[in-house]
């Protein structure tokens, strides 16, 4: 009987080892990939542009809400980021044509090249009585290092809207995490 009990104990221990029930099993300790969502906002004004806008677009304003969807692997490393944009505009002169909208790297007072382009076609955003709005979803960040920098320090990035009159930007605001 003793040899049968020993054989059963050995079989049980072997089963545990094969099943990977030990604390050192790497599969049980690796977290799963995650998707998190964060929201950022900017109030857009012509005075925030560099240089400040003083022509017909100087009465314009706006707000952008950016919702990021961040994909991270089990180690927490950023693997993909998409953004949803809600842009609301007001105070533009009659006949204004919106030509573009972007996130740029740059602290207040400094201009930067576009990082994320909403891909607006000229005139796509209808301005009626000086106001308009647009929603763009699932716009991908192509540069994950810049995406991580944006997540870490959004105030180092700004959003602006360009018009036919102000091709470099008509209204701008630094992004803030909500």
Distance CA 178, CA 43 (A): 13
Q: pLDDT by residue (tens digit) across 99-151?
A: 999 999 999 999 999 999 999 998 899 999 999 999 999 999 999 999 999 99
Q: What residue spans of the chain are helical by DSSP H?
A: 2-19, 26-29, 144-152
Tell which residue, 101, 105, 93, has the closest CA to residue 122.
101
Q: Give helix then strand counts, H and E, for the chain.
A: 3, 9
Strand partners, 159: 103, 173
**Positions in the chain short of pLDDT 50:** 6-22
Q: 46 — phi, psi (to 5°)?
A: -70, -25
């Amino acid at each position: 009987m003793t040899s049968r009990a020993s054989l059963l104990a050995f079989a049980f221990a072997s089963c545990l080892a094969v099943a990977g029930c030990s604390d050192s099993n790497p599969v049980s300790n690796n977290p799963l990939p995650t998707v998190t969502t964060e929201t950022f906002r900017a109030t857009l004004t012509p005075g925030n542009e560099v240089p400040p806008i003083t022509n017909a677009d100087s009465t314009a304003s706006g707000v952008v809400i950016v919702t990021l969807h961040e994909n991270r692997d089990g180690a927490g490393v950023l693997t993909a980021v998409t953004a949803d944009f809600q842009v609301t505009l007001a105070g533009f002169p009659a006949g204004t044509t919106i030509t573009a909208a972007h996130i740029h790297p740059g602290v207040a007072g400094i201009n930067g090249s576009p990082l994320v382009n909403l891909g607006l076609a000229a005139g796509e955003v209808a301005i009626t009585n000086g106001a308009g709005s647009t929603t763009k979803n699932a716009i991908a960040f192509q540069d994950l290092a810049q995406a991580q920098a944006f997540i870490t320090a959004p105030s180092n990035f700004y959003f602006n809207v360009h018009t036919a009159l102000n091709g470099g930007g008509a209204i701008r605001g630094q992004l803030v995490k909500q």
